[in-house]
Amino acid sequence: MSTLFQIDAFTAEPFKGNPAAVCLLTQPKDPAWMQQVAAEMNLSETAFVHRDGEGFGLRWFTPACEVDLCGHATLAAAHALWEHRWLKPFDVAHFSTRSGTLTAEQGEHWIHLDFPKEAAEESGFPDELLRGLGAVNPRWVGRNRLDYLVELESEATVRAFSPNLAALAGLESRGVIVTAAADPGEFDFVSRYFAPSCGIGEDPVTGSAHCALAPYWSKKLGKTRMTGYQASQRGGTVRVEVGADRVKLSGQAVTIFRGQLA
């Protein structure tokens, strides 16, 4: 049997942040089986972890497909490894993934992820995106290998945004990030994330989206360390630090339940 966790990531409070399932495997499993488990869990991501040499293999599945990069489920996977004692406290987690080697370090109160920088370049405005945004007028549109990144005029516009998900599902991308500078206070920027083509209407807190958000806002605000807030219904906080070609994502996590998968 495999140990199965449900963990809320990018939050220190239960029932906030982004819930992820984490399945600790004694050996690699068939992708079709992993996809069935992810569909059964019906969360935005289910992470599958197995020992791989001195590190761990890690794959991520939505209810509909496998994805190349996922922040909140990586945060949750690292949290599960320390909690289940597959790693000693403060040992670094090394993950082999479809996006290369990723690491997670345990701090006193925050987990720090080392991820690739996925800067967006200014792009065209496809019809599906135009229809998906509706009446909202973007300040800037770009994309990276994963997503479209759209800057809106204000935090209030981001919070009130209601996309046409059917139109966004037709985009040739994983999803769409909408963002704006935050109102004065504890956050530098706000965002929301939509990935209907992957079976996710709105993702509560998307770590991998911050691989694009961090370099974008770093250039605009002249900062390398910032705090972002993903303004979904559940909400979550992501601290970011921008390097030459990497982004450090920091967040918290809390276990909701642990069980056994037959």
**pLDDT, position 121:** 98
In this structure, the answer to whether residues 142 and 237 fall within a common structural domain is yes
In this structure, the answer to whether residues 13 and 99 fall within a common structural domain is yes
* Reported confidence tier of residue 229, pLDDT bands at 50, 70, 90: very high
Measured between alpha carbons, how far apart are the two ends of the chain, in Å?
Answer: 5
In this structure, the answer to whether residues 112 and 139 fall within a common structural domain is no
In this structure, the answer to whether residues 156 and 107 fall within a common structural domain is no
Q: Would you name the residues annotated as active-site residues?
A: 45
In this structure, the answer to whether residues 256 and 197 fall within a common structural domain is no
In the predicted model, is pLDDT for residue 18 greater than 90? yes
94-144 pLDDT, tens digit each: 999 999 999 999 998 999 999 999 999 999 889 999 999 998 999 999 999
Distance, CA of 224 to CA of 247 (rounded, Å): 10
In this structure, the answer to whether residues 43 and 62 fall within a common structural domain is yes
In this structure, the answer to whether residues 131 and 231 fall within a common structural domain is yes
Q: How many domains does the chain have?
A: 2
Total residue count of the chain as it appears in this document = 262
In the predicted model, is pLDDT for residue 253 greater than 90? yes
In the predicted model, is pLDDT for residue 187 greater than 90? yes
In this structure, the answer to whether residues 198 and 147 fall within a common structural domain is yes
Opening angle at CA 49, ends 47 and 52, nearest 5: 150
In this structure, the answer to whether residues 171 and 84 fall within a common structural domain is no
Domain hosting 92: range is 2-116+249-261
In this structure, the answer to whether residues 105 and 218 fall within a common structural domain is no
144-180 pLDDT, tens digit each: 999 999 999 999 999 999 999 999 999 999 999 999 9
50-99 pLDDT, tens digit each: 999 999 999 999 999 999 999 999 999 999 999 999 999 999 999 999 99
In this structure, the answer to whether residues 34 and 96 fall within a common structural domain is yes
